[in-house]
Structure 1
Amino acid sequence: MLRHIIPLSLAALALAGAAGNLLASPPTRTPAASDPYAAHARNPLLPGYFADPSIVHYKGEWFIFATMDPWGGEKLGLWRSRDFRNWTFSTPNWPTKAAAHSSTSGSANVWAPSVVRGRDGRFWMYVSVGNEVWVGTATHPVGPWKDANHGKPLIARNFRPGFHMIDAEAFIDDDGAAYLYWGSGLNWVNGHCFVVKLKPDMVTLDGEVRDVTPPHYFEGPFMLKRDGHYFLMSSYGNTTKDTYQVRYAVGDTPFGPFREPDDNPLLATDAAAQIISPGHHAVFRVNGQDYILYHRQALPFPRAGDEVLRQVAVDRLDVSGERLLPVRPTHQGPDIPGTAAHRQAGRRVALSASAASDVLHNAEKAGDDNYATGWQAPPGTATSWLQADLGATGPIPASSLRPADLLHPLRFTIETSRDASSWERRGQPILAQSSPVRLPALGGKARYVRLVFEGTPDILEWTFP
């Protein structure tokens, strides 16, 4: 399956990630670019398993829409933040797998949103559901969203037989004209890119659909215009392997023709840095500087059973005339003007657990402020616990959990103790499917707080103020 990467042993990776152990060394705010397990690493940007991001900035707030991994859910994931570092999760009311369904729909879940603001001031979402493209609209990124095409797909699954009608991306040109790009192949080969102009209603196709497939293309088109040049960016390769990458071609009109420069790919696997299969991206601009938002494989990679879990990261993108300069993917992420330099720091606590799935997922990884790492209980465990030692007996503060898997709810109870021997259950069982999961301050005093879970949770961070 994996041809070009020799995975490090778990022991070697654990040693490489020693800087991420808050209990072993003082925290640092400048993690090494090559260390995926360093404390306070800012990539992955979002806590959890997500892919195919689309980003909007509106009234001082950032919104990221994304596919929920593995391979989508019944809804989309939506993250929002005012500082670009501390994100809150929700799911938009539309689309859902049930609501966006037609006689031509396939079996695929909700994938690959593209959200733009049209010339009418409204927000428009083009999203893949059931292997076809649907369109919705709202007056605010949070919604409420509604179907904009009267219960029908904009691009039906059988629109071009032999190709996947997915991964639609809207582009608004400088004159306000809107275009829609989409298309993928089958079985990870033979991708084709289609484009059509949209009428001002953002729903009706205006003219013929054109095939503008560049030499190396599979899926995930994104149109970027800079200084009169039209850059048709896209993903090539296989996202389940190490071959996935971002490439581009350049043209003089939204329809091309597009020529592919020699300096491709734009963004690709960096095996030495443990950055695997970056792709399906969006581009946004702050103060004249471009940034690329993309997904890459969650670590460690490859996973047992060919499980596909991806995470969202961001890095700097530079444009030079008719060229997009190769992107250097990082773990520390870029400094973006007007955004927070780091996430809110948590209190230093000692974490322990009933058991861990392996050395890369021990309890301490849930306290390193790095969304690439976290605590996982061993597979097949009926109950498991994660415990915090606050250092001394005192009031029990509020705390926050960042679960990695937001497709499934967490089920747990809270217990406290003064001596880690005698435990008191606090409150009723909790069922949560959010991020962060906010746990309230508790009455009385204790030194230890324990979360007792049903099953095998995956906790990226447990933070105390």
Structure 2
Amino acid sequence: MNWRWVGLAVVTAISVASPCWAQDGKAVEPGSNPLFRDRFTADPAPLVVGEQLFLYVGHDEAQRDEMFNMREWLVYSTTDLKTWTSYPPIMKATDFKWALKDAWASQAIQKNGKFYFYAAVEHDSSHPGKAIGVAVSDRPTGPFVDARGTALITNQMTPKGTHSWEDIDPTVFTDDDGATWIAWGNRQAYIAKLKTNMIEIDGPITEITPPHFEEGPWLHKREDLYYLTYASLDRSTQRDEHVSYATAPAITGPWTYRGELTGPGKYSFTIHPGIVEFKGSWYIFLHNASLTIGDQNGAIGRRAVTVEPLHYQADGALRPVVQTQAGVSEPVL
């Protein structure tokens, strides 16, 4: 996202394929884009647990000309990328008692027998600006509860930044040695190691800003290469965010810019990548603003999550991604 723009309740989850009918009355193939058509969703973050893929999203609720109105995070699960199960909201922004609002981008990760959920919110006046919290649950579908009682990362921890909303869009990644890292940022990109308890920073915060970095970083690894994929914006030539990426021989860098991976989401200023391997194939989740629900068209604050196959070339480079309506409804080539 960008500025410019416990007791456990027992609730029955609902399994749905991509809705059977589009706004114009035409049949919709399961797995086609956008994935969910009953509500606006954004900032997708996939997590594979066994034979299931869980997809964490923010819920866009902007009315009329609102830019953003995001109060809660949702999760869906699937075993085939076509039929999805929806669950009750996993958490609200204000479940972090120190937060004022703004359930912005998030990512969940499994470790130590638990699920940790990292999310960007607006901090209260004790630490003005955007901040990143961490919540925990015994299950991927939540509910999640604040694991610290305070923010993991605040604006005051990155004093070289140029604005108050730079500490957003966390991505978390566990390396082969068991160490978990968190990266985040807007305009400036940062990375830090997490302690084994997953709720404290272990060591320095390092800036790793690649060319045209705007926001939405995502860390992953394939074979011996590390990837930092992110929403990019060449302010001299571009109006809307694209997706670019960099690679490195180690999580600590050095990071080499590899170029653009895909263009902007349809009708959307923002875009947000989430990459995962699932059942032997790789996928990239994104969002656009092509969905219409009732009398509400897609907009900056009304986006919709999509998915596309992701392919690698022999040298590790990512093959450019063409965003489609078909998504994964057709056989992956």
C-alpha distance 208-81 of structure 1, shift in aligned 2 (>3 A): same
Which residue number in structure 2 is paired with residue 44 of structure 1?
A: 34
Q: Which amino acid aligns with 1:328?
A: V
Which residue number in structure 2 is paired with residue 215 of structure 1?
A: 211
Which residue number in structure 1 is paired with residue 167 of structure 2?
A: 165
Alignment TM-score, normalising by the size of structure 2: 0.77
Q: Which has the higher contact order (CA 8 A, sep 6+)?
A: 2
Q: Which amino acid aligns with 2:302?
A: L
Q: Which amino acid aligns with 2:105?
A: A
Larger Rg: 1
Match of residue 248, structure 1, among 231, 239, 245: 245
Alpha-carbon distance in structure 1 between the residues aligned to 2:318 and 2:140: 29
| 1:207 counterpart SS class | coil
Match of residue 66, structure 1, among 51, 57, 66: 57
Alpha-carbon distance in structure 2 between the residues aligned to 1:174 and 1:20: 48
Alpha-carbon distance in structure 1 between the residues aligned to 2:29 and 2:247: 39
C-alpha distance 49-62 of structure 1, shift in aligned 2 (>3 A): same
Structure 1 residue 63, shift from structure 2 partner: 2.0
Kindly provide the CA deviation profile for residues 132-189 of structure 1, in whole angstroms up to 9, marking residues without a partner as x: 100011121012322211x1000013322434211111011122110000111xxxxx
Alpha-carbon distance in structure 2 between the residues aligned to 1:246 and 1:324: 12
| 1:279 counterpart SS class | coil
C-alpha distance 260-49 of structure 1, shift in aligned 2 (>3 A): same
Match of residue 78, structure 1, among 37, 52, 75: 75
Structure 1, gaps ≥5 residues long: 1-17, 28-37, 185-190, 340-465
Match of residue 127, structure 1, among 115, 119, 124: 119
Alpha-carbon distance in structure 1 between the residues aligned to 2:324 and 2:93: 35
Which residue number in structure 1 is paired with residue 14 of structure 2?
A: none
The alignment yields a C-alpha RMSD, in angstroms, of 3.0
Paired residues of 2:52 and 2:77 also in contact (CA < 8 A): yes
Match of residue 176, structure 2, among 171, 174, 177: 174
Structure 2, gaps ≥5 residues long: 1-21, 63-67, 123-129
| 2:94 counterpart SS class | coil
Paired residues of 1:124 and 1:137 also in contact (CA < 8 A): yes
Aligned ranges 1:313-332 → 2 under 5 Å: 313-320=306-313, 321-332=315-326
Which residue number in structure 2 is paired with residue 233 of structure 1?
A: 229
Q: Which amino acid aligns with 1:116?
A: I
Kindly provide the CA deviation profile for residues 69-89 of structure 1, in whole angstroms up to 9, marking residues without a partner as x: 133433212223344323343
Which residue number in structure 2 is paired with residue 206 of structure 1?
A: 202
Structure 1 residue 110, shift from structure 2 partner: 1.0
Paired residues of 1:93 and 1:145 also in contact (CA < 8 A): yes
Which residue number in structure 2 is paired with residue 138 of structure 1?
A: 137
Q: Which amino acid aligns with 2:319?
A: L
Paired residues of 1:179 and 1:195 also in contact (CA < 8 A): yes
Q: Which amino acid aligns with 2:32?
A: R
- Give runs of ≥4 in structure 1 deviating > 6 Å: 38-41, 303-306
Q: Which amino acid aligns with 2:318?
A: L
Alpha-carbon distance in structure 2 between the residues aligned to 1:134 and 1:19: 37
Structure 1 residue 121, shift from structure 2 partner: 2.6
Match of residue 97, structure 1, among 93, 96, 103: 93
Name the count of aligned residue pairs.
286
| 2:54 counterpart SS class | strand
| 1:87 counterpart SS class | strand
Range that drifts further, 156-165 or 61-70: 156-165
Paired residues of 2:74 and 2:90 also in contact (CA < 8 A): no
C-alpha distance 198-39 of structure 1, shift in aligned 2 (>3 A): closer
| 1:323 counterpart SS class | coil
Q: Which amino acid aligns with 1:122?
A: K
Structure 1 residue 269, shift from structure 2 partner: 3.2
Q: Which amino acid aligns with 2:322?
A: R
Match of residue 310, structure 1, among 265, 286, 303: 303
Paired residues of 1:298 and 1:309 also in contact (CA < 8 A): no
Paired residues of 1:278 and 1:297 also in contact (CA < 8 A): no
Alignment TM-score, normalising by the size of structure 1: 0.56
Paired residues of 2:268 and 2:300 also in contact (CA < 8 A): no
Match of residue 107, structure 2, among 109, 114, 118: 114
Q: Which amino acid aligns with 1:265?
A: E
C-alpha distance 269-306 of structure 1, shift in aligned 2 (>3 A): closer
Alpha-carbon distance in structure 1 between the residues aligned to 2:326 and 2:107: 26
1:54 to 2:48 alignment:
no
Kindly provide the CA deviation profile for residues 375-417 of structure 1, in whole angstroms up to 9, marking residues without a partner as x: xxxxxxxxxxxxxxxxxxxxxxxxxxxxxxxxxxxxxxxxxxx
C-alpha distance 93-304 of structure 1, shift in aligned 2 (>3 A): closer
1:193 to 2:195 alignment:
no
| 1:285 counterpart SS class | strand
